[in-house]
């Protein structure tokens, strides 16, 4: 059998093919593997923000109820294995190598066709489905899209239900110029007569989803319409028809996390109508409270408070800023920021200037990382300063922190993952 290092080389070598939306290669790969995706009980999640958090709430509820859970998420936090997990544990190096070896002839066969070689994401998606179907065999699989929905590699599954968490201004160069265009791509995960849970807020987005559900005869459960999230600062209530949960406490910070938790609760109740999953009220309450995920307003240290947040677009940074303003309104907040250069950096920086005392723009060794000097030129605010090397910026900020200060690192999951790997958080 090939080694884990050799397996990683095979997977990472596919990077040069980049992002290539479409399902033909994915379907061809899965056919060669005997269609492992057809043997899974799955839930499918798409959305600009909130996918990972909603998935984490679902995972925690299922775990509390005693079910085994497989998860396929993006991006990797510290290493490639953690995209594929069973009961919270990442796929082992041995299983990763074994499955990669199974995929070698499939990859070679595709290279010789007009479909061309599969991308890294397609290889990992096929690996995840094969792992869940033949090795881990979980009771339920939670699958997160990588990009968009309609043409995303994960959109070959036939889920029990689907969730669209939110629509925002991200990847618009690939998904479309307007919110309606982006929504049409995300709504591509809606399948015939398959329930859909939506947390979208824009009227244009909601209309697109309603029209798609009518076309597919899919039952729609829209947050704010079919079910409600009544927020009361530290707690919230969930309401659906005659059902009501009061004094719920989300395991993650922010009003947006209460909404993500509500999407998960709605999904669980829909699922119980479809399949015989025994999940009671205590499982839901405990799961929602215990749910935690890395890089989502994650407090990793106290005195001073250090927070990692993967806000990687305008809507994500706005949610972070609102949470900081509410939770740490009387504290000095310092931000270390690096986004990808294709983002609307000015729109991301603007809300942070309302809550932060100082924002340090930096960079790290990654071809898509922003140039901090160009970012400053786009938005030359008095609270902004530039320190080009991330490690120097980090050390300088830490040296000057007082015990009651709040230090926030944000802008991109790739940036956070780079820092975590080097700082061993």
- Predicted confidence at residue 263, as pLDDT, reads 98
Q: Among the listed ranges 9-23, 173-187, 218-232, 323-337, which one has the minimum average pLDDT value? A: 9-23
Count of residues making up the chain: 425
- Predicted confidence at residue 170, as pLDDT, reads 58
Is residue 241 located within the same domain as residue 342? no
Cα Rg, the chain, nearest whole Å: 21
Query: Mean per-residue pLDDT for 23-50?
Result: 96
What is the overall mean pLDDT for the chain?
Answer: 94
- Predicted confidence at residue 48, as pLDDT, reads 87
Is residue 28 located within the same domain as residue 94? yes
Q: Is 403 a residue whose pLDDT tops 90?
A: yes
Q: Is 241 a residue whose pLDDT tops 60?
A: yes
Is residue 136 located within the same domain as residue 274? yes
Instruction: Say what percent of the chain tops pLDDT 90.
Output: 85
Residue 271's CB is within 10 A of a number of other CB atoms, namely: 20
Residue 130's pLDDT band, with cuts at 50, 70 and 90, is: very high
pTM: 0.91
Is residue 91 located within the same domain as residue 164? yes
- Predicted confidence at residue 216, as pLDDT, reads 97
pLDDT digits (tens, 9 = 90+) for 266-320: 999 999 999 989 999 999 999 999 999 889 999 999 999 999 999 989 989 999 9
Residue 425's pLDDT band, with cuts at 50, 70 and 90, is: confident
- Predicted confidence at residue 78, as pLDDT, reads 82
- Predicted confidence at residue 237, as pLDDT, reads 98
Last residue of a domain, which of 268, 290, 312? 290
**CATH code, domain carrying 140:** 3.40.1190.10
Is residue 254 within 8 A of residue 293, CB to CB? The reply is no
Q: Is 92 a residue whose pLDDT tops 70?
A: yes
Find all residues with CB under 8 Å of 110, minimum gap 6, and list them.
25, 28, 29, 116, 117, 118
- Predicted confidence at residue 283, as pLDDT, reads 98
Is residue 161 located within the same domain as residue 113? yes
Q: Is 106 a residue whose pLDDT tops 80?
A: yes
Is residue 253 located within the same domain as residue 302? no
- Taking the C-alpha atoms of residue 179 and residue 202, their distance in angstroms, rounded to an integer, is 8
Number of domains in the chain: 2
Last residue of a domain, which of 249, 265, 290? 290
Is residue 244 located within the same domain as residue 334? no
**Whole-number Cα distances in Å, 38 to 62, 70, 95, 101, 250:** 21, 15, 21, 22, 33
Is residue 339 located within the same domain as residue 224? no
pLDDT digits (tens, 9 = 90+) for 341-353: 989 999 999 999 9
Query: Mean per-residue pLDDT for 401-423?
Result: 94
Q: Is 355 a residue whose pLDDT tops 70?
A: yes
Domain of residue 385, residue span: 298-423
**CATH code, domain carrying 305:** 3.90.190.20
Residue 22's pLDDT band, with cuts at 50, 70 and 90, is: confident
- The three state secondary structure string of 361-411 is EEECCCCCECCHHHHHHHCCCCCEEEEEEHHHHHHHHHHCCCCCCEEEEEC
Is residue 139 located within the same domain as residue 240? yes
Residue 172's pLDDT band, with cuts at 50, 70 and 90, is: low
Is residue 267 located within the same domain as residue 370? no
- Predicted confidence at residue 424, as pLDDT, reads 79
- Taking the C-alpha atoms of residue 108 and residue 117, their distance in angstroms, rounded to an integer, is 8
Q: Is 153 a residue whose pLDDT tops 90?
A: yes
């Amino acid at each position: 059998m090939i080694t884990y290092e050799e397996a990683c080389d095979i997977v990472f070598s596919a990077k040069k093919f980049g992002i290539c939306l479409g399902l033909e290669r994915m379907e061809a790969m899965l056919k060669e593997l005997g269609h492992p995706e057809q043997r899974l009980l799955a839930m499918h999640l798409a959305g600009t923000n909130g996918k990972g958090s909603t998935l984490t709430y679902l995972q925690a509820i299922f775990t509390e109820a005693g079910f085994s859970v497989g998860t396929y998420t993006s991006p990797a936090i510290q290493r490639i294995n953690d995209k594929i997990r069973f009961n919270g544990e990442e796929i082992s190096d041995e299983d990763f190598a074994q499955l990669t070896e199974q995929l070698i002839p499939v990859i070679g066969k595709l290279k010789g066709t007009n479909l061309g070689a599969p991308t890294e994401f397609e290889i990992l998606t096929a690996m995840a489905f094969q792992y869940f179907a033949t090795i881990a065999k979980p009771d339920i699989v939670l699958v997160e899209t990588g990009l968009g929905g309609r043409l995303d590699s994960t959109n070959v599954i036939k889920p029990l239900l689907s969730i669209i968490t939110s629509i925002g201004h991200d990847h618009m160069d690939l998904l479309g110029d307007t919110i309606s265009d982006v929504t049409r791509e995300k709504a591509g995960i809606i399948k015939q007569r398959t329930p859909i849970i939506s947390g979208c807020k824009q009227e244009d987005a909601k209309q697109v989803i309603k029209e798609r559900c009518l076309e597919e005869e899919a039952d729609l459960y829209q947050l704010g319409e079919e079910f409600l999230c009544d927020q009361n600062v530290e707690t919230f209530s969930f309401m659906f028809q005659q059902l009501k949960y009061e004094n719920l406490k989300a395991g993650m910070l922010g009003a947006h996390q209460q909404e993500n938790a509500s999407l998960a609760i709605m999904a669980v109740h829909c699922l119980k109508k479809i399949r015989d999953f025994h999940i009671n009220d205590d499982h839901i309450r405990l799961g929602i409270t215990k749910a935690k995920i890395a890089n989502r307003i994650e407090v990793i240290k106290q005195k001073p408070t250090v927070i990692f947040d993967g806000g990687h677009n305008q809507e994500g940074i706005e949610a972070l800023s609102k949470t900081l303003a509410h939770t740490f309104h009387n504290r000095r907040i310092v931000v270390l920021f690096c986004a990808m250069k294709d983002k609307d950096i000015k729109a991301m920086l603007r809300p942070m200037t309302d809550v932060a005392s100082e924002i340090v723009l930096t960079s790290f060794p990654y071809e898509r990382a922003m140039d901090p000097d160009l970012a400053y030129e786009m938005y030359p605010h008095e609270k902004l300063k530039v320190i080009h090397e991330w490690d120097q910026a980090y050390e300088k900020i830490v040296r000057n922190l007082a015990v009651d200060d709040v230090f926030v690192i944000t802008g991109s999951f790739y940036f956070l993952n780079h820092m975590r790997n080097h700082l061993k958080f």
